[in-house]
Amino acid sequence: MIVLKFGGTSVATPESIASTLAIVKATETPALVVVSALGGITDLLVKATQQAAAQDEAWRESLEAIESRHLDTVRGLLPPQGQPAVVGKVKKDLNTLETLLEGSFLIGETTPKIQDKILSYGELLSSFIIASYYSGQGLQAGFRDSRKLIRTDNTYGNARVAEDNTYALVREALDGSPPIVVLPGFIGATPEGHTTTLGRGGSDYTAALYAAATGASELQIWTDVSGMYTANPRVVPQARPIAVISYEEAMELSHFGAKVLYPPTIRPVLQAGIPLSIRNTFDPKAPGTRIEASANGAGRTVRGISYVPEIGLLSLEGPGMVGIPGVSRRFFEVLSAERINVVLITQASSEHSLCAGIHEKDLARAASALDEAFAFERSKGEVKPVLVENGLSIVALVGDQMKHHQGLSGKMFSALGRNNVNIRAIAQGASERNISAVIASSDVKKALNTLHEEFFEERIKPLNLFIMGVGNVGSRLLAQIRNQQHYLSAQHRLQLRVVGISNSRKMVFAEDGLDLDQWERLLENGIPADPDAFYQTVRTLNLRNALFVDNTASESIAGGYARYLQGSIAVVTCNKIACSAAYGEYARLKGLARTYGVPFLFETNVGAGLPVIDTLKNLVLSGDRIHRIQAVLSGSLNYILNTYTGERPFVEIVKEAREEGYTEPDPRIDLSGVDVMRKILILARESGHGLELDDIGNRGFLPQGALEAPALEGFYEALQAGEPHFQALYNNATRGGKLLRFVAEFNAGKAWVGLEEVPEGHDFFSLKGSDNIVLFYTDRYREQPLVVKGAGAGAEVTASGIFADIIRAGKV
């Protein structure tokens, strides 16, 4: 004997019912086929009942829709000559249903008993139609009414089954039945013959009861998914079916929201030792999931990740609870009396507090009852009013083998913590088959994907990038990301997704990642840019491993780093403003990065793509001490000073450097020395010195009129007028065989910048183009400094430096 159960989606249309026929034909007989109501019919029956009880005439429209669905199904399945008898029986049942609804309408109410009778017609009609269809297709199929076989108590809406009595009735009634018997799921009857329903997942439970009663060789649950998954595939796209799982693991997963199977289904087959398979009606060749007594052969620790939505927490606490026996008993007796199911329990070892997770819909009633029960203790100040928290969900790791592996809890909570998922309560059973955590419902998607990545995926880590600024540097960064995506995935297990882009006018988002071949068109068609709205969208999307990239020189954008870091969103920036702001702000950002466990990286603040800051950090981390730093830190100034020979005007060289992307958009920042001041300040701070920008000396070389120019055009005019000044500087240096370099130095806790004449043989003399150079004099490098040298300006190398920081952040 094999028992097959087809759910509502499997019998939703004539076409899907035809798919079940093919499955039944391929099954060895004898077989029992348990079916649900046609997809959507139960909801229509509930709606019609509510409308009738509210004396809303619209119940007739709902009934008409129910009738149309069933008659259309008959016409779609049976040939004309086979329809009359079936249609006659269907209409007879629908007339009875109409009478029941009419009665509810007339008295303006319904009862659980009447509602069960009304709802039963969904399964009664579908099973009769399907049995008639099978018979008409040449199968030796018959119909049996489950109300004559499944014996229950009178708890209408969620009746309890008298299993011994039921098993005896099933064995007696099915003796001598045709090879294939079709039965309605979800329904039963009291000993007096009153119709009852078995509650959520009742059709699965019905099939399990039939399997246990007949000693079936297998129970097959046919649905619209290919088995139980490692996580909900609608929330975690990377989830995959579980091939084999134990009864206990399946029960834990189903308790924690794996809706493909309901908990009561497992117990009858577990007790009888009958394997259970979950298969896909629409992909019958897929192996699905097999549930059996044996532990998972692969020895996998975590078998699945699931969640329960719409949970609330009740917390009772107070000094009067410490050492007082019976408080927990009273707490749970109150909830039991209110027929409130407790999903999760946690109690402090100090006995000062007791916390229970229940379904959100029961919160108000539970809190009121508990406050009333502990009113005396509250009046004496021994117990506080019940604390209620809503908007929560439970996420759970499930697996038989978890008890044999240490550190799973730490791994789970560490992964959630790295992604700013706050945990409100924790529970772990003594069996160690599940570890549960209560979190905000808004974090469920991120939490499930984070845990699935941690425990199931081949360590391909997704990085979700939000990029502000797509000018010279930003556009090249996007090109580099596009070109390297496949390589990073294949070789470094990193998946880069650019989820958001913004310039000064528009911004655009795509949760699954923007097409980087089309980003300019997508951005042009985006919504108006707004940094605050950009941040709010990042927070609303709430993606794991999120990273904010700032390619701007904007003070206001830099001022927003703190809120990203506080949201556990990594920050990568080439914008020097934040790290060269007041020391307190710099220290605060570094502290936030440590507190929230996310990278704050700004390698390109000094030296563009050169590993200057990274080298300095490694020196300090390894215990070396920095005594002195000498550097040429402005690729733009170096380019200008290397290019200027007095033959072309100085202002022309400056404009050329700006067009090539060597300078900031406003070249006054470079030529005034402010940019170099910021860079040496950052290096001094990274060396452990709390300097401010005002502490940096600046021996500038621009004419006074240039510095006082209110606008860029005025600045260019001042440079043009100051051409004799620049020629004099150049001539004085070259007469002595020297070259002009704008140098930065940090020594003995002090720092300064300024134009210097560098003689031949000096490390700075041979610098070409926009090269930068940094000399580190330390305890280990006293006489011969550690030298970092290379291209220090330009959009391409700056973009590559930002890219390197992104990769570095991804590997944290």
Residue with tokens 């007949």: 214
Which residues, 6 or more positions from 403, have their beta carbon under 8 angstroms from its beta carbon?
Answer: 431, 432, 433
The rounded distance, in Å, linking the Cα atoms of 387 and 352 is: 14
- Residue 564's φ and ψ, nearest 5 degrees, are -65, -50
User: Given 679, 738, 789, 811, which residue is catalytic?
Assistant: 679
The rounded distance, in Å, linking the Cα atoms of 227 and 247 is: 14
The rounded distance, in Å, linking the Cα atoms of 185 and 37 is: 8
Decide if 543 contacts 464 (C-beta within 8 A).
yes
Decide if 697 contacts 753 (C-beta within 8 A).
yes
Instruction: Report helix, strand or coil for 764.
Output: coil
Task: End-to-end CA distance of the chain: give it in Å, rounded.
Answer: 55
Residue 524 token pair: 């042009």
Instruction: Report helix, strand or coil for 602.
Output: coil
Residue 207 token pair: 């099939």
**Residue 175 exposure: Cα atoms within 13 Å on the Cβ side:** 6
Beta bridge partners of 745: 630, 752
Q: Which of 161, 242, 229 is nearest to 196 (CA)?
A: 161
Verify whether residue 679 is a known catalytic residue.
yes
**Residue 355 exposure: Cα atoms within 13 Å on the Cβ side:** 21
SS3 letters across 414-451: HHHHHCCCCEEEEEECCCCCEEEEEEEHHHHHHHHHHH
Q: Report CA Rg, the chain.
A: 36
Which residues, 6 or more positions from 680, have their beta carbon under 8 angstroms from its beta carbon?
Answer: 629, 631, 633, 696, 744, 745, 746, 751, 753
Beta bridge partners of 279: 222
Beta-carbon count within 10 A of 136 CB: 16
Decide if 476 contacts 795 (C-beta within 8 A).
yes
Q: Where are the beta strands (DSSP E) in 603-749?
A: 626-632, 696-699, 739-747
What are the residue numbers of the active site? 679
